[in-house]
Amino acid sequence: MTHSTPDLSLRHHRREQGLMLALASPALLVILLLIVLPVGWLAWQSIYHDGFTLENYRRIFSEAIYWRSFSLTFQISLLVTVLALLLGYPIAYAASVVPKGWSVLILALVILPFWTSVLVRAYAWLALLQRTGVVNQFLQYLGVIDEPLALVHNTFGTVVATVHILLPFMVLPLYATMQKIPHDLMQAGASLGGSPSHTFWRIFLPLSLPGVLAGTTLVFVLCLGFYITPELLGGGRTVMVSLLVSRNVELYDQWGAASAVGVVLLLSVLVIFLIVGRFIPLDRILGQK
Amino acid sequence: MGSGVESVEIKSASKHYGAVVALDNVTLSVAPREFVSLLGPSGSGKTTLLGLLGGFIQPTSGSIHFGERDVTLEPPHKRNIGVVFQNYALFPHMSVGENVAFPLRARRLPKADWPAKVRGALAMVGLAGYEERGVAQLSGGQRQRVALARAMIFEPRLILMDEPLSALDKQLRESMQIELRQLHKRIGATIIYVTHDQREALTMSDRVAILKDGRLIQIDKPAQLHDHPADSFVASFIGEASLLPVRRIDSGSVALGPATLRSARAIPNGDALMLAVHSEKLLIDDGADNAALNRLTGTVTDVVYQGESLRIFIALPDGTALSLRQPSHHEAYRRIPPVGGPLTVTLHPEDTIIVPKAAE
């Protein structure tokens, strides 16, 4: 009896491990099927075409159009992220300090555009910003301008529409973080002699950084792969990486080249986050209690 | 420290939230270096009053003065008062040293002076050498001390404390009460302290203000409050008193059911009077023939052992319940009859407190 006990407990342990694996397997299967396989297949496409080849990657790093497009994509994403932060922070701040009823209203206004499709919103911006659009006509009516401004079919139009569409992804994480900052910290700051601006810069802003980090990351990453808005509002001149991918597939039937672009974009995002993670103390910002 | 200490005066302050009256015409003055507690049940207006003093809320009417100056409309950061909040309100993203230095930074004092001042403030609360610690690493009592150091470092003319000890366990709370008391004597600051714990208020304060439903009922020294309550609410709130309805006979006696009690104190006029019997004022009748004492006889209904003392509950013939306290001494055990037995207790006319019945 005594010598069989360790054997029993070992068998029990193994059974438990098997059970855990069985329970986790549906989730693992979903990840495998929906993420690992497609990305793996993508990567495989980019290096195998009638035998191994690095031709696709050589093209990316040697042809100017690719470099320009990548550079433009990162510039636009950065600009959109900064603009979304500048617009989103005051909105989230207002929502977090006003009485409950008002904050619900503010958040509802932020989320409302979500109920219309991205495509519809992009066309709406087109209608607003085109040469004969509302904005140009109004400015001409006021006499501010004589000739219609080129507000669309360029980078400007792309940025405006993208900021609008991605703004909720900035506001919501910001609001979630801000409304968790205890109100008496602000009162304490004021009572200890901090002017409203001093209290904001020294207390509120640092405590809202986790939300800033979450919001900017979301917006930046979503913007890198944004397709419909640059396609419709960029007018063919603002060639972002997503357009490069679709053209490679649709115009030239170059699946390998398209895959290579996707892989390079994915890797560059990972590299950026590794670098950012080294310089910004993420654990300190996210781990504060 | 304490060079800028001034008196505080609240003149006819009221605060209404729509139809709700949070504070109703409160007038209160606090002398320089005085320790005043605001005591009352929740919803009595004590936190509202603290908010008015701190500048976090504006009164609907009335004014607040620090020394000669009217500060009613002054924003919190210009008032130069230290506030210690109930849950400490330490800044979680700053170290202990940075927290304590916050008021110095906010006032743009020369950076070279900070370390010495921070060291001094932390030493004052017994946390010397804690500058580099994170707030999350501190225990409740240590956080309390940091909040205190932070509120004192800029030598405020007034320190407000909002139930600062309520989150601590009983033992720590009691030792912090004594410490705060000594600290107050040492730094000589004016302190206004909000609490709902009557023992805490009596232990620490020079004077205690009793609030109820937004009104100031009585402000007095602890002993005065205990022995000369203004009405039955104060009597029930301070100490451990049984309140029994009595009828006025003349200026020196009242009727408690069929019994007549003499009082050496002035008996207030009016019909609705209550006898406030503190349980420590009742003594077991030792049989001595002292006709001056009031005597009450009842039946023992329960004897509760509470460590250092015994609490004995008795019922008078008409069912009225009373309780008295005896030190848990062998002598006391001998004199208390078993449950159901008769017991006669005496109440000295000097301790026979008759108060008007408080409005419900």
pLDDT tens digits for range B276-300: 988 888 888 877 777 788 888 899 9
Do B22 and B129 belong together in one domain? Answer: yes
Q: In this model, does residue A262 exceed pLDDT 50? A: yes
pLDDT > 60? residue B1: no
For residues B219 and B236, membership in a common domain is answered with: no
A199 contacts in B (CB within 8 Å)? 77
pLDDT number for residue B205: 92
**Angstroms from B58 CA to nearest CA on chain A:** 14
End-to-end CA distance of chain B: 45
Residue B151 has pLDDT above 70, yes or no: yes
Q: Give the per-residue pLDDT at A1.
A: 45
Q: What is the CATH number of the domain that holds B114?
A: 3.40.50.300
Q: Which residues contact A136 (CB under 8 A, 6 or more apart)?
A: A129, A130, A145, A148, A149, A151
Single out the residue in B182, B203, B227 at which a domain terminates: B227
- CB-based contact, A198 to chain B, within 8 Å: yes
Count Cβ atoms below 10 Å from residue A93 Cβ, excluding itself: 17
Residue A72: pLDDT band (50, 70, 90) is: confident
- The pLDDT-based confidence of A49 (bands split at 50, 70, 90) is confident
CATH code for the domain of B259: 2.40.50.140
CA distance B313 to B323: 4
Reply yes or no on whether the pLDDT at B79 is more than 50.
yes
User: CB–CB of A151/A71 below 8 Å?
Assistant: no
Q: Which of B193, B227, B261 is the last residue of a domain?
A: B227
> What's the mean pLDDT in B316-332?
86
**What six digits make up the tokens of A61?**
């790093």
Residue B82 to residue A207, Cβ atoms within 8 A: no
Say whether pLDDT at A3 is over 70.
no
CA distances from A45 to A235, A255, A256 (A): 30, 7, 5
- Cβ distance B77 to A191 less than 8 Å, yes or no, reads yes
pLDDT value at residue B3: 44
* Pairwise CB contact (< 8 Å): B92 & A207: yes
Is A97 in the B-facing interface, judged by CB distances under 8 Å?
no
In the stretch 41-60 of chain A, residues with CB closer than 8 A to chain B read: none
- pLDDT at residue B10 tops 60: yes
Query: What does the alpha-carbon distance between residue A157 and residue A228 come to, in Å, rounded to a whole number?
Result: 12
Residue A6 pLDDT > 70: no
Say if domain A66-286 classifies as CATH 1.10.3720.10: yes
| pLDDT higher than threshold 70 for residue A286 | no
Q: Which range, A58-62, A128-132, B342-346, is most confident?
A: B342-346
Which of A198, A206, A289 minimises the CB distance to B136?
A289
What pLDDT band is residue A29 in, cutting at 50, 70 and 90? very high
Indicate the range of A82-86, A284-288, B121-125, B293-297 predicted with least confidence: A284-288
**Contact A193/B85, CB-based, under 8 Å?**
no
Measured distance CA(B277)–CA(B43) in Å, rounded? 27
**Which chain B residue has its CA at the smallest distance from A205's CA?**
B93
Least confident segment among A46-55, B15-24, B123-132: A46-55
Instruction: Report how many domains make up chain B.
Output: 2
Of A134 and B102, the one with more pLDDT: B102
| Residue B109 distance to chain A (closest CA, Å) | 12
Pairing status of strand B207-212 against strand B35-39: parallel
- Of B211, B227, B243, the residue at which a domain comes to its end is B227
As a whole number of Å, the end-to-end CA separation of chain A is: 51
Q: Is residue B2 assigned to a domain?
A: no
In what side-by-side order are the strands of the sheet with B253-256? Answer: B259-262, B253-256, B241-250, B273-278, B353-356
Residue A200 has pLDDT above 90, yes or no: yes
Same domain for B272 and B217: no
**Strand pairing partners for B161?**
B84, B193
Contacts for B319 with CB less than 8 Å, ≥ 6 apart: none
Residue A53's pLDDT is 80
Determine the Cα–Cα distance for residues B177 and B166; give it in Å rounded to an integer: 11
pLDDT band at A283, cuts 50/70/90?
A: low
Stretch A12-16: mean pLDDT, rounded?
86
Query: Mutate which of A183, A187, A192 to test chain B, going by most B C-beta atoms within 10 A?
Result: A192
* Burial of B131 from C-beta contacts in 10 A (0-12 / 13-18 / 19+): middle
Q: So what's the pLDDT on residue B331?
A: 80
The pLDDT assigned to B37 comes to 94
CA distance A45 to A254: 10
What is the pLDDT averaged over residues B227-256? 87
Q: Where are the domains of chain A?
A: 66-286
SS3 (DSSP) at B13: strand
Compute the average pLDDT of residues B94-106. 93
pLDDT at position A87:
94
* pLDDT (0 to 100) of residue A110: 87
pLDDT of B188 higher than 60: yes
State whether B97 and B220 are in the same domain: yes
Q: Which residue has the tokens 């980090």?
A: A213
Residue A28 in tokens? 């693992």
